[in-house]
Amino acid sequence: MNLMLTFEQGDAVLVSVFLILILMSVLTWYFIVLRGWRAWQVRRLNREADAQLWGAASWQAAEKDLDTSPAPAAALLREGLAAVRKYQQHSDGSLGQSCSLDDYLTRALRKRLSQEQQSLEGGMTFLATIGSTAPFIGLFGTVWGIYNALVNIGAQGQVSIGTVAGPIGEALVATAAGLAAAIPAVLAYNTFTRLNRLINQDMDHFTHDLHAHLLTLGGKDGIR
């Protein structure tokens, strides 16, 4: 079947179904490429930041090396150092400084970690929505195609291949289009969920080590 005939001869409902599924498929692949690149980049940048931090001679040197790094690990380092400095410089008995340095640093790092983890979730809801709705949109196109076939049978008063071939063919293609949009979205969602979990685990471990070192070694290094 020539798909162009569907757009040339199909009714508005069927054409709308195909256009929606095509748009879903294009957006799915766009997010697959975007999120795949983002996940690879974050893991690479975090490994580099981790190596630079623990290989630095001092906290000041590490901060200078990672001052402009876009890595989430670098953002956590900057947040941790800023929290320590703020706590040391504002011991005025305010509500924010009424807790210990341990609690204050934990709160600051947890907030930044949550923000970095949320940034990794962009597009995931969209992929899940496409994966769950595209098959039903395709099924609606299938039902509509069968309906058109029954209308043609009723109008002509007889059943023939010519009567039902076009509408039934369009119905089957609508089902295939729905699956073609949904399957990559579901596979991508599961894959990126797994990747995000691995990245989050790495950042959790990094944050724990950073927190411990800032508490035990920060004073010796003279963080200012």
CA neighbor of 3 nearest in space, from 20, 21, 15: 15
Q: Can you give the pLDDT at residue 217?
A: 60
Regarding predicted confidence, which is higher, 111 or 223? 111
d(CA 136, CA 197): 29
How distant, in Å, are the alpha carbons of 50, 62, 99 from that of 68? 14, 11, 31
Q: Can you give the pLDDT at residue 94?
A: 58
Among 35-39, 56-60, 216-220, the minimum mean pLDDT is found in: 216-220
Q: Phi/psi of residue 2, each to 5°?
A: -80, 115
Tell me the average pLDDT of the chain.
83
Q: Can you give the pLDDT at residue 201?
A: 93
Regarding predicted confidence, which is higher, 159 or 224? 159
Sign of CA dihedral 134, 136, 138, 144: negative
pLDDT at 66 over 50: yes
3-state secondary structure of 68: coil
Residues 83-125 pLDDT 10s: 888 887 765 555 555 677 888 889 999 999 999 988 888 889 9
Which one-letter DSSP state was computed for residue 95?
S
Q: Quick one: average pLDDT of 129-151?
A: 86
The DSSP H or E segment spanning 150 is: helix 124-156
Residues 178-188 pLDDT 10s: 888 899 999 99
Model pTM score: 0.79
pLDDT at 224 over 70: no
Regarding predicted confidence, which is higher, 122 or 162? 122
Q: Quick one: average pLDDT of 31-45?
A: 92
Instruction: Give the contacts of 193 (CB within 8 A, at least 6 positions apart).
Output: 124
Regarding predicted confidence, which is higher, 157 or 174? 174
Q: What region does 87 belong to: left with phi over 0, alpha with psi -120 to 50, or beta?
A: alpha
CA neighbor of 64 nearest in space, from 52, 76, 73, 72: 52
How distant, in Å, are the alpha carbons of 8, 77, 219 from that of 138? 19, 48, 63
Q: Can you give the pLDDT at residue 60?
A: 85
- Report residue 44's pLDDT band, with 50, 70 and 90 as the boundaries: very high
Which one-letter DSSP state was computed for residue 92?
S
Q: Quick one: average pLDDT of 115-141?
A: 89
pLDDT at 221 over 70: no
Q: Quick one: average pLDDT of 1-24?
A: 75
Long-range contacts of 17-21 (CB under 8 A, 24+ apart): 17/137, 17/138, 17/140, 17/141, 17/144, 17/174, 17/177, 18/141, 18/174, 18/177, 20/137, 21/134, 21/137, 21/138, 21/141, 21/174, 21/177, 21/178, 21/180, 21/181
Q: Give percent above pLDDT 90 in the chain.
A: 41
- Report residue 219's pLDDT band, with 50, 70 and 90 as the boundaries: very low
